[in-house]
Amino acid sequence: MEKTTITTNNDRLLAWMATVPAGKLPEVRARIMRDCGISRYVLAHWLSGRTRIPYLALQKIEAIAGEKLFLY
Protein backbone atom coordinates (compact mmCIF):
# COMPACT_ATOMS: atom_id res chain seq x y z
CA MET A 1 0.00 0.00 0.00
CA GLU A 2 1.44 3.35 -1.05
CA LYS A 3 1.40 6.17 1.48
CA THR A 4 -0.12 9.40 0.18
CA THR A 5 0.75 12.83 1.48
CA ILE A 6 -2.16 15.15 2.08
CA THR A 7 -1.16 18.70 1.34
CA THR A 8 -3.32 21.40 2.88
CA ASN A 9 -3.81 24.92 1.63
CA ASN A 10 -1.71 26.00 4.63
CA ASP A 11 1.15 23.83 3.32
CA ARG A 12 0.73 25.34 -0.13
CA LEU A 13 0.92 28.88 1.30
CA LEU A 14 4.06 28.01 3.24
CA ALA A 15 5.66 26.43 0.15
CA TRP A 16 4.89 29.50 -1.96
CA MET A 17 6.22 31.87 0.72
CA ALA A 18 9.48 29.88 0.65
CA THR A 19 9.88 30.79 -3.05
CA VAL A 20 9.54 34.55 -2.47
CA PRO A 21 12.95 36.27 -2.58
CA ALA A 22 14.14 37.24 0.91
CA GLY A 23 14.21 40.95 0.03
CA LYS A 24 10.54 40.86 -1.03
CA LEU A 25 9.25 38.72 1.84
CA PRO A 26 8.43 41.56 4.29
CA GLU A 27 6.52 43.38 1.54
CA VAL A 28 4.57 40.23 0.59
CA ARG A 29 3.73 39.46 4.22
CA ALA A 30 2.55 43.05 4.77
CA ARG A 31 0.40 42.92 1.65
CA ILE A 32 -1.23 39.64 2.68
CA MET A 33 -1.98 41.05 6.13
CA ARG A 34 -3.34 44.30 4.68
CA ASP A 35 -5.42 42.76 1.87
CA CYS A 36 -6.84 40.00 4.11
CA GLY A 37 -7.35 42.30 7.10
CA ILE A 38 -5.41 40.09 9.49
CA SER A 39 -2.69 40.46 12.10
CA ARG A 40 0.77 38.92 11.95
CA TYR A 41 -0.42 36.37 14.52
CA VAL A 42 -3.20 35.15 12.23
CA LEU A 43 -0.72 34.88 9.34
CA ALA A 44 1.60 32.89 11.60
CA HIS A 45 -1.28 30.54 12.46
CA TRP A 46 -2.05 30.08 8.75
CA LEU A 47 1.60 29.32 7.97
CA SER A 48 1.89 26.83 10.83
CA GLY A 49 -1.41 25.15 9.96
CA ARG A 50 -3.05 25.92 13.30
CA THR A 51 -6.06 27.56 11.62
CA ARG A 52 -7.64 27.15 8.21
CA ILE A 53 -7.33 29.91 5.64
CA PRO A 54 -10.78 31.33 4.77
CA TYR A 55 -11.99 31.04 1.17
CA LEU A 56 -11.90 34.80 0.45
CA ALA A 57 -8.36 35.03 1.82
CA LEU A 58 -7.29 32.20 -0.50
CA GLN A 59 -8.49 34.27 -3.46
CA LYS A 60 -6.71 37.40 -2.26
CA ILE A 61 -3.45 35.52 -1.70
CA GLU A 62 -3.66 34.04 -5.21
CA ALA A 63 -4.15 37.56 -6.58
CA ILE A 64 -1.00 38.66 -4.75
CA ALA A 65 0.93 35.62 -5.99
CA GLY A 66 -0.33 36.03 -9.55
CA GLU A 67 -0.88 32.28 -9.85
CA LYS A 68 -3.20 29.50 -8.69
CA LEU A 69 -1.86 28.10 -5.43
CA PHE A 70 -4.77 26.46 -3.65
CA LEU A 71 -7.35 23.71 -4.07
CA TYR A 72 -10.96 24.73 -3.52
* Residue 52 DSSP SS3: coil
Q: Would you say 69 and 16 are in contact if contact means Cβ atoms under 8 Å apart? A: yes
Alpha-carbon gap, residue 47 to 2, rounded angstroms:
27
What does pLDDT average to over the chain?
93
pLDDT of residue 6: 62
Per-residue pLDDT of 1-18, as tens digits, reads 555 566 899 999 999 999
pLDDT of residue 72: 83
Q: Would you say 51 and 45 are in contact if contact means Cβ atoms under 8 Å apart? A: yes
Q: Would you say 13 and 47 are in contact if contact means Cβ atoms under 8 Å apart? A: yes
pTM given for the model: 0.87
Alpha-carbon gap, residue 52 to 43, rounded angstroms:
10
